[in-house]
Amino acid sequence: MKQYIANVALVVKDYDEAIQFYTQKLNFKLLEDTKLSESKRWVVVAPPGAKECCLLLAKAANPTQETAIGNQAGGRVGFFLFTDDFHRDYKNMQEKGIHFVREAIEEPHGWVAVFEDLYGNLWDFIQPSAQNKSLIE
């Protein structure tokens, strides 16, 4: 048996500004942008090299959903972006204006920093240590 998480929904204010942030600032790939109705699109982005889990950018459709924008995980880190070259990508992200709320530090599990996306959701940015290298492969 094989199962995997294909997409994780991320509530956004605007499709186009979210696409621009993830593709231009984080170097994600736009995998799909399909119009479903006048107000709804199916927008999927993923980091380069991603094999399974992608982000489904879901535009808030009502006031209740709007309250989740930037607060997907209740103020905790809710997303985890792994890399095979922390220092290269960390520098690139800084140059593109990504706001880091916790600067880079080497932990037992690898290099890690915490950044905010365009709405304030918190992300761990991680390069696993040598003993955890299989997490990125």
Domain holding 101, by residue range, is 75-137
Pairing label, strands 99-107, 110-116? antiparallel
Is residue 68 domain-resident? Answer: no
pLDDT tens digits, residue range 75-90?
999 999 999 999 999 9
pLDDT tens digits, residue range 18-73?
999 999 999 999 999 999 999 999 999 999 999 889 999 999 999 999 999 999 99
Are residues 121 and 95 part of one domain? yes
Are residues 137 and 79 part of one domain? yes
On whether the CB atoms of residues 115 and 107 are closer than 8 A, the answer is no
CATH number at residue 119: 3.10.180.10
Question: Full-prediction pTM beyond 0.75?
Answer: yes
Please count the structural domains in the chain.
2
pLDDT at 73: 96
- Distance CA(104)–CA(90), nearest Å, equals 8
Instruction: Kindly state the tokens that stand for 96.
Output: 């593109």
Pairing label, strands 110-116, 7-12? unpaired
Residue 136 has pLDDT above 90, yes or no: no
Strand order in the sheet with 54-59: 7-12, 54-59, 41-46, 29-35
